Structure 1
Amino acid sequence: MMQQLEKQKLTPSIFEKMSEHEQVVFCNDPVTGLQAIIAIHDTTLGPALGGTRMYPYETVDDALEDVLRLSEGMTKKCAAADLDFGGGKAVIIGDPKTDKSPALFRAFAQYVDALNGRFYTGTDMGTTMDDFVHALKETNFINGVPKAYGGSGDSSIPTAKGVVYALEATNDYLYGSNTLGDKSYAIQGLGKVGYKVAEHLMEQGATLYVTDIFDEAIERIVEKGKMHGTKVHVVRSEEIYEVDAHIFVPCAMGSILNETTIASLKVDAVVGSANNQLTTPDMAMKLREKGILYAPDYIVNAGGLIQVSDELYEPNAERVLWKTKAIYDTLLDVYKVATNNGITTEEAANIKCEKTLLEQRHRNNFYSRDRRPKWQVRE
């Protein structure tokens, strides 16, 4: 049997890709057109928690690679944010503009339910709270739903607040003041999070350089700038890396920091909400060698995760804000550890997460408690 596997190069490579994950589930429902993958990376701290992304991946291998990377990032994010959850993620292969249906999300929810609490999920890129209202009909293990259904609402709000706290911490570390308004920012992506960050910076009087693939997003922020009497500089997508600004703020797709883009950067720091910004781990060293301070993305963008995880204790906006504010001190600590030990900020953040996982390995008893709010428990 092993000799047979060795001859079939594809099969062992798939298992090798999944080797650091506890569980990977392929979901297929021909009736609704559902094709999805759920990846559970690590449940040391508690059940896996992570959103479900819908994207028209060109191949199943592309979808698998993305979900494995994203779920591993969720383990780090939960550990860094001091949450009693592990890392997981799901991807649905399809165009969110044309391939969605209530039946598809109900079919997907049945796969989530079959995991019996090992995986909680909700919105991510390409999915909305309304999609998961349909999913709630099939499973209890959904969070990040509208307030009308007992949820805490739009998770992009605390995510954006977390980015702002991270920017303040970065300014404090680099310039000795956490004031935002006297600096310039190159913002890549004006979606749910990027727009809110841009809006806040604009209100503070900051100089903005922006880009987005959708013209309506650009027009919206430019009009907002006119209302505030602030000039918004619009640049093409490929030009955002060459902007002479203080901080680059990536809030769109991941894997955007590579040798080419890093060579083009003229900023002092990179602080943004996009997931998995480094194409490979060694890009953190490239940034350090160039003198660019990098804020590990899974610390910066943890605000939304904090909110959706909080729903399992019943929503509490004050508690979410309190934990999101901790991003400021967490990031400052990572910067100091990196500087004092001559390592990258990515390494410093990973060390912090590994320490948390080791300390909590035998202390978590999440599975022995039912933390689901009453509205979420079906009779």
Structure 2
Amino acid sequence: MAYDDLSPEFLSAFPDYDGHETVRKIVDADTGLTAFIGVHNRALGPALGGCRMYPYAGGEADAIRDVLRLSRGMTYKNALAGLPLGGGKSVILGDPFTQKTPALMRAMGRAVQSLEGHYITAEDSGTSEADMQEMGSETSYVVGLHLPQGDTSALGGNPSPVTAYGVYMGIKAAVRRKHNTDSVAGLHVVVQGLGSVGYALCEYLHRDGASLTVTDTRPSILDRAVAEMPGTKVVTPDQIFAVEGDIFAPCALGAQINDETVPQLRVGIVAGAANNQLATKQHDDMLADRGILYVPDYVINAGGVIAVAYEYFARTGRNPFTAPLTRDVMMDHVTGIGRTIDKILALAETQGLPPGRAADRMAESIFMAEKIRA
């Protein structure tokens, strides 16, 4: 296995380079692994962020762009989530459905181990709990591992349901700001994407009396939603942006809020689970100009990273909090996402900022005040 830490001179050609501490390229000829690990900032603690596997059409250049952008985003996410952790991310080049093997994931585990704890990984798009188990055979710096059989109180496992709960709490905060009520009953929520997080979010909303219009590329999951959540309406993916409702919840791919889609939106709130929802920062302003309240994605979808952070602290015997490391305490922490969003939206209003910029300022005030921790 070969490692190469990319130079600042090389990385400065990428617009998303932000003085990242480390961007390591990993090549393992025996397993076919080509990957990048990005550590953006460790001012608050070791860098935590998931491992993504994706067949980047633009090859290594696209992968580098992704790891730069995603690792920086994790610094901001972890800071506003109230975690003593920095930001990092890793990406594997390849199709997770046809090119992933246990040996490849174990090689990725060795790559994570090479950073000696500066980076902690977890599952992300294209990877799973089983992949984390394989990586965990080669490194201790991995989270999102299987829960003990039948133990629903332990820390660990698939963080997606926790992410969904955090998004639900964030939506309630936005509704409180927009409609002066905590209830989503009677509101129409338009949900793009019914993956594990999007589907669980719909269950929360349906249970509380919201009406749903949903879309996904998989007919089977749409059929399931209609059967399990009566009254749910289905539209095609290209129709979802123009559906009239109260809330648009992007829970699929990033960059779905862009020049083409913003004019189509007929909602008062954009709040969902997807990462990097805005194609560019100017779309934060565009939504504000249209009177649409945007809840910054990296704040509202932080439930998953909170879950895996608690797992990591419990497994390593290090508790940075005043409360015990239990699942109930962790879920209370996730509930706090709503309070953080309250503060961001209040700051945005008082300073005349779009919410995304207000969130960035709050995050920077946290991690930029700290020195790098060894």
| Superposition TM-score, scaled by structure 2 size | 0.90
Give the CA deviation at 1:338. 0.5
Asked if residue 87 in structure 1 is aligned to residue 87 in structure 2, the reply is yes
Write out per-residue CA displacement over residues 304-345 of structure 1, whole angstroms, 9 at most, x where no aligned residue: 000101112216211211110111111011111111111110
The aligned counterpart of 2:22 is 23
The aligned counterpart of 2:55 is 56
Distance (Å, rounded) in 2 between the aligned partners of 1:242 and 1:312: 42
Asked if residue 168 in structure 1 is aligned to residue 172 in structure 2, the reply is yes
Unaligned runs of 5+ in 2: 1-8, 315-324
Distance (Å, rounded) in 2 between the aligned partners of 1:13 and 1:347: 23
Count of residue correspondences: 351
Q: Letter of the 1:328 partner, please give it.
A: G
Q: Secondary structure at the match of 2:36?
A: strand
The aligned counterpart of 2:101 is 101
1:187 and 1:249 in contact (8 A); partners too: yes
Q: Secondary structure at the match of 2:186?
A: coil
User: Matches of residues 137-156 of structure 1 in structure 2 within 5 Å?
Assistant: 137-148=137-148, 152-156=156-160
Write out per-residue CA displacement over residues 86-109 of structure 1, whole angstroms, 9 at most, x where no aligned residue: 010011111111111110011111
1:338 and 1:348 in contact (8 A); partners too: yes
Q: Secondary structure at the match of 1:238?
A: coil
User: Matches of residues 36-55 of structure 1 in structure 2 within 5 Å?
Assistant: 36-55=35-54
Distance (Å, rounded) in 1 between the aligned partners of 2:95 and 2:148: 27
Asked if residue 333 in structure 1 is aligned to residue 337 in structure 2, the reply is no
Distance (Å, rounded) in 2 between the aligned partners of 1:342 and 1:358: 23
Write out per-residue CA displacement over residues 110-159 of structure 1, whole angstroms, 9 at most, x where no aligned residue: 11001000000010011101111111111110011111398511201110
The aligned counterpart of 1:195 is 199
Q: Letter of the 1:136 partner, please give it.
A: G
**Does the C-alpha gap of structure 1 residues 101 and 69 become closer, same or farther in structure 2, counting only changes over 3 Å?**
same
**Does the C-alpha gap of structure 1 residues 108 and 125 become closer, same or farther in structure 2, counting only changes over 3 Å?**
same
The aligned counterpart of 1:222 is 226
Write out per-residue CA displacement over residues 12-59 of structure 1, whole angstroms, 9 at most, x where no aligned residue: 764665352111011111221111111111111111100001111112
Distance (Å, rounded) in 2 between the aligned partners of 1:122 and 1:171: 31
Distance (Å, rounded) in 1 between the aligned partners of 2:32 and 2:307: 31
Write out per-residue CA displacement over residues 266-301 of structure 1, whole angstroms, 9 at most, x where no aligned residue: 110100110111111111000000100000001100
The alignment's C-alpha RMSD in Å is 1.7
Q: Secondary structure at the match of 2:346?
A: helix
Q: Letter of the 1:31 partner, please give it.
A: D
Write out per-residue CA displacement over residues 146-184 of structure 1, whole angstroms, 9 at most, x where no aligned residue: 113985112011100000100111111111111012100
Give the CA deviation at 1:224. 0.7
Q: Letter of the 2:46 partner, please give it.
A: P
The aligned counterpart of 1:355 is 365
Distance (Å, rounded) in 1 between the aligned partners of 2:14 and 2:148: 42
Q: Letter of the 2:148 partner, please give it.
A: A
Distance (Å, rounded) in 2 between the aligned partners of 1:357 and 1:112: 23
2:206 and 2:212 in contact (8 A); partners too: yes
Q: Secondary structure at the match of 1:259?
A: coil
Distance (Å, rounded) in 1 between the aligned partners of 2:301 and 2:14: 30
**Does the C-alpha gap of structure 1 residues 19 and 206 become closer, same or farther in structure 2, counting only changes over 3 Å?**
closer
User: Matches of residues 255-294 of structure 1 in structure 2 within 5 Å?
Assistant: 255-294=255-294
1:102 and 1:134 in contact (8 A); partners too: yes
The aligned counterpart of 1:74 is 74
Q: Letter of the 1:238 partner, please give it.
A: D
1:53 and 1:127 in contact (8 A); partners too: yes
Q: Secondary structure at the match of 2:213?
A: strand
2:18 and 2:40 in contact (8 A); partners too: no
Q: Secondary structure at the match of 1:63?
A: helix
Q: Letter of the 2:271 partner, please give it.
A: V
| Superposition TM-score, scaled by structure 1 size | 0.89
What is the aligned-residue identity percentage?
Answer: 38
The aligned counterpart of 1:179 is 183
Distance (Å, rounded) in 2 between the aligned partners of 1:172 and 1:320: 23
**Does the C-alpha gap of structure 1 residues 155 and 208 become closer, same or farther in structure 2, counting only changes over 3 Å?**
same
1:185 and 1:248 in contact (8 A); partners too: yes
Q: Secondary structure at the match of 1:260?
A: coil
Distance (Å, rounded) in 2 between the aligned partners of 1:81 and 1:113: 25
